[in-house]
Amino acid sequence: MKRIILIGFMGSGKSTLGKKIAKKMDLPFIDSDREIEKRHQKTIGDIFTENGESFFRTLETEYITSLKDKEEFVLATGGGMPCFGKNMELLNELGTTFYLDRSPKELANRLYNAKTRRPLIDGMEQEELVSFIEERLSARDEYYKTADVILDRDDQSVSVIEDLTNLLHPHLQKS
Ligand code: S3P
């Protein structure tokens, strides 16, 4: 079983890095937001507007639970997923969790220029975004930091994650 799970705040680069890891290690890539959208035939934005955030959080828990049957994958989670209910415990049980740690300023720059629409920060100006991130991150950090591995910016690379995965699961290396 090789299950690599990337967690971190919105804009930390989970999906971009996850896709690269999956390609290099020949594993399927999953983005939980996209899977939830597919399953429910609605965008995350519409789920938030029509059903509310807490409903979205139940869909996230449901989704993690459904992954127990899947042997191998690289999963990029939604930014808030680890911070609700027992999700972080479930993620740690499921596979090896990697926290992509980034500073609020850097996240704000990345999010300000991002094309993806995110309901929680829609329409925010850059300064407002920095304070929003600082506030949320200080509440979320205690969850994120229970990841198996915490990666600083310079270590957030395919090779570091591949090496760590092989080190943690040497018997599972693909030839
Ligand atoms: C959220 C992050 C988003 C998405 C939703 C809520 C959050 O995922 O799940 O908009 O609470 O941080 P990304 O981290 O992929 O943007």
In this predicted structure, what is the pLDDT of residue 173?
47
Q: How far is it, in rounded angstroms, from Cα 84 to Cα 78? A: 11
Mean local confidence (pLDDT), 11-20: 97
Q: pTM of this prediction? A: 0.95
Ligand 1 midpoint to CA 152 (Å):
20
Residue pLDDT, tens place only, 68-87: 999 999 999 999 999 999 99
Residue 7: pLDDT band with limits 50, 70, 90: very high
Please say if the pLDDT value at position 95 is more than 50: yes
Ligand 1 midpoint to CA 153 (Å):
20
Report the nearest atom of ligand 1 relative to the CA of 136.
12
Average pLDDT, the chain: 94
Residue 126: pLDDT band with limits 50, 70, 90: confident
Query: Which residue owns the Cα nearest ligand 1 atom 7?
Result: 80
Mean local confidence (pLDDT), 3-14: 97
Ligand 1 midpoint to CA 77 (Å):
8
Ligand 1 midpoint to CA 34 (Å):
11
Q: How far is it, in rounded angstroms, from Cα 109 to Cα 134? A: 13
Query: Which residue owns the Cα nearest ligand 1 atom 10?
Result: 118
Token pair 């939830």 in the structure block, residue: 36
Ligand 1 midpoint to CA 32 (Å):
10
% of the chain residues with pLDDT over 90: 87
Asked whether 8 lines ligand 1 (CB < 6 A), one says no
Mean local confidence (pLDDT), 159-167: 93
Please say if the pLDDT value at position 155 is more than 70: yes
Asked whether 78 lines ligand 1 (CB < 6 A), one says yes
Mean local confidence (pLDDT), 79-103: 97
Query: Which residue owns the Cα nearest ligand 1 atom 11?
Result: 80
Q: Which of 7, 44, 118, 136 is the best mutation target for the ligand 1 pocket, counting ligand atoms within 8 Å of the beta carbon and taking the most?
A: 118
Please say if the pLDDT value at position 117 is more than 90: no
